[in-house]
Amino acid sequence: MTSIPPHFLPPLRTKLPPPTFRQLCLQDPKIVTKYRSVLHDQLTYQKVQDKLVILREHATNSTWTAADMETFQTLDDTIMQAMLYAEKSTSEKFSTKYDWSPQLQQAVEAHRFWTLCLKHARGYTVSPSTLERYRTKAQLEPQENLSVPKITQNLKAAYRTL
C-alpha cells in the first residue's frame, strides 16, 4: 500500500470496528487466503491502487487540496466496505436470529413431534418414519394409541418449554 504523511490527512469519518467485534479470526490459512483474494479482487475492481498513487503524488508534491481530502475519505470508505465484504464472504454461514442450545433443539423437536402426532390423530397423512425421527430427536419414549386430548396436553407442555 501507499503511505501518505499523516499531517496531510484529515481525521477519518469512518470507524472500522476492531476484529473482535466483527468476529474476524484469521488463523486458518484457507480463510486467510480466501479473505485476501476477495479483498484484492474488490480493491482491484474499485481501482483503489491507482487512486492511492494519485493521492500520494499530490501529498509529496504539496498540492494537496480539499478535493483530495474528499477523495481520500471516499477511498477510505471504499476500502472499509471492501474489507467488510471480504470478511462477510469468507465467514461461516450460520443464523444468529435464534439462540441455540441442545435443550432448545430438543424442545423444538418435541414440539414438532407432538404437532405431527396431532395431525396424524386427526386423520392427516404423516409417515411413521417421520414420527419416529422426531420422537428420537426429542428423546421421548415411544407413544402408542394416544387420544387427541392427551396429545394436545403434551403439545401445550412442549410449547411451554420453548
pLDDT higher than threshold 70 for residue 79: yes
pLDDT higher than threshold 60 for residue 20: no
Supply the DSSP symbol for 57.
H
Cell matching residue 109: 423437536
Q: What is the pLDDT of residues 142-156, one digit of tens each?
A: 877 788 899 999 999
Q: What whole-number distance in Å separates Cα of residue 141 and Cα of residue 14?
A: 57
**Confidence (pLDDT) at 134:** 92
**Confidence (pLDDT) at 113:** 92
**Confidence (pLDDT) at 146:** 84
* Model confidence, pTM: 0.46
Residue 47, CA distances (Å) to 11, 50, 62, 72, 74 in order: 23, 6, 23, 13, 12
pLDDT higher than threshold 60 for residue 138: yes
Which ranges in 63-147 belong to alpha helices (H)? 66-90, 102-121, 128-138
Q: What is the pLDDT of residues 25-56, one digit of tens each?
A: 556 777 788 888 999 999 999 999 999 899 88
**Confidence (pLDDT) at 41:** 94
Cell matching residue 88: 462477510
pLDDT higher than threshold 70 for residue 85: yes
